Amino acid sequence: MGLQTEFLPLSVDALPAFAADRKREGWRFVQLLAVRTDAGCDLVYSFMKDGLLENHVVEGVTKETPVPSITDQFLAAFVFENEAHDLFGIDIRDIAIDFGGKFYQLAQSEPMTIISPAQKAARDKAAKAAAAKAAKERSAQGEAAGAGGTAGGAEDLEAKLSGMDPEKAAKVRAAMEAKAKKEAAAKQAAVDEKVAALDPEKAAKVKAALAAKAAREKAKREQDGAPEGADGAEAAAQPADADGAASPAQGAPAAVEGEGE
C-alpha cells in the first residue's frame, strides 16, 4: 500500500487546538518545514497515521506574527521550532526547550531571510508591474463608470427639458450650447498654444491626428443620433483640415490661401 499525501490549509489561531486533536487521535508528528515566500513564510506541519501523510500549511507568516509552539503536545517539534526561529526569524512562543536564538552558531542572523540583489530587483519589478496593472484596471473601471454616468445624465437632462415649456427649454439648450462652445474654444486655445511650439512638420502631423479624431467622433455622433449642439462644440476644438492649414475655428482668415497670388 503506497503512502498517501495531502496538503491542507491551517491558521495560526487554530494551531493549538489542531495539535491537541492530532495528539488525541494518535497521529505522529513528522516535521515542521519553513518555506520563504513573497508574503513572508509558509509553515508546513506534517503528521502521519495509517499510511496517510497530512501536510497542514500556515501561509504568510511574518516576523510580527506570533506562532504558538506545539511542543506541549509533540516535544520533538522543539528542534524544528528553534530552527524556524533562528533561520527564518519566526516568532514561535513557549517552546518547551528554547535555545533563545542560539540553536545554531550563525555568522549572519536569520540567514534564510536574506535575498540577493538580483532577487530583490526581480521582486521590485514584479511588484511595480502588479501595481501598474491594478492602477490600469482601476482607471478603466473609472472611465467605464464615468461614460455610463455621462450617458445617463444626458438622458435625464433631456427628460427634464421635455417636461418644460418649449420657450424655457430652448433657452436652457442655448445656454448649454454656449457653455460647450466656450469650453471648446478654451480647449482649442490650449491646443493651438502647444502646436505653435512644435516644428512645422510635427505640428502638421499633430493637427492631422486631431482632425482625424474629430472626424471619427463626428461620425459616431451622427450614427448615435446625438444633438449637434450638445456635442458638436467638441469637434470645433479640433483643426478642420488634415494638411496643417488653420481652420476658421483657429482664428485664421479664410482667404489666407490666396495670399500672394
93 phi and psi, to 5 degrees?
A: -100, 145
Residues 6+ apart with CB under 8 A from 184: 233, 234, 236, 237
Round the average pLDDT of the chain to a whole number and report it. Answer: 79
153 with 176: CB under 8 angstroms?
no
Query: Is pLDDT of 142 > 70?
Result: yes
- For residue 114, what pLDDT is reported? 59
Tell me which of 149 and 203 has the higher pLDDT: 203
195 with 207: CB under 8 angstroms?
yes
Residue 41 binned pLDDT confidence (cut-offs 50, 70, 90): very high
Beta-carbon count within 10 A of 90 CB:
24
SS3 assignment, position 88:
helix
- For residue 166, what pLDDT is reported? 80
Query: Is pLDDT of 251 > 60?
Result: no
Q: How far apart are the C-alpha atoms of 194 and 150, rounded to whole Å? A: 28
Whether pTM exceeds 0.85: no
Q: What confidence tens digit (pLDDT) does each residue in 196-247 have?
A: 888 888 888 888 888 888 888 888 878 876 555 444 444 444 444 444 444 4
Residue 174 binned pLDDT confidence (cut-offs 50, 70, 90): confident
Q: How far apart are the C-alpha atoms of 174 and 135, rounded to whole Å? A: 39
